[in-house]
């Protein structure tokens, strides 16, 4: 499996580790789990469809590709917002 398909899950794992210790960001953790579930579901649907297709009639697996592009965007946005909130919390804890 290529880094293109695994990359968003690595970023989600990093974001989850950052969010895990902050109770105020539990909603983001749920959002990460939902995005991961959508990605896994898209991959499973295509895999199941591939297994049911007779030989010679295969189609290009586009659903997983499109879902992965969305996951890349979502994982970067989540990581940036989590990192910004973590930095703001760290600064406020150090100054107070």
pTM of the model: 0.76
Question: Which position has the higher pLDDT, 96 or 36?
Answer: 36
**26-55 confidence digits (pLDDT tens):** 788 888 889 889 888 888 888 888 888 888
- The residue to which tokens 């910004």 are assigned: 84
Distance CA 57, CA 53 (A): 6
Question: Which position has the higher pLDDT, 73 or 94?
Answer: 73
Average pLDDT over residues 77-93: 83
* pLDDT tier, 1 (very low <50, low <70, confident <90, very high otherwise): low
Asked if 12 and 36 touch (Cβ cutoff 8 Å), the reply is yes
pLDDT at 16: 87
């Amino acid at each position: 499996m290529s880094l293109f398909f695994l990359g968003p899950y690595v970023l989600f794992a990093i974001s989850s580790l950052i969010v895990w210790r902050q109770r105020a960001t539990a909603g983001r953790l749920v959002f990460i789990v939902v995005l991961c579930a959508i990605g896994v579901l898209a991959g499973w649907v295509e895999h199941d469809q591939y297994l049911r297709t007779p030989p010679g009639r295969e189609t290009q697996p586009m659903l997983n590709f499109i879902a992965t592009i969305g996951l890349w965007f979502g994982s970067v946005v989540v990581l940036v917002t989590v990192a910004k909130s973590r930095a703001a919390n760290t600064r406020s804890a150090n100054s107070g």
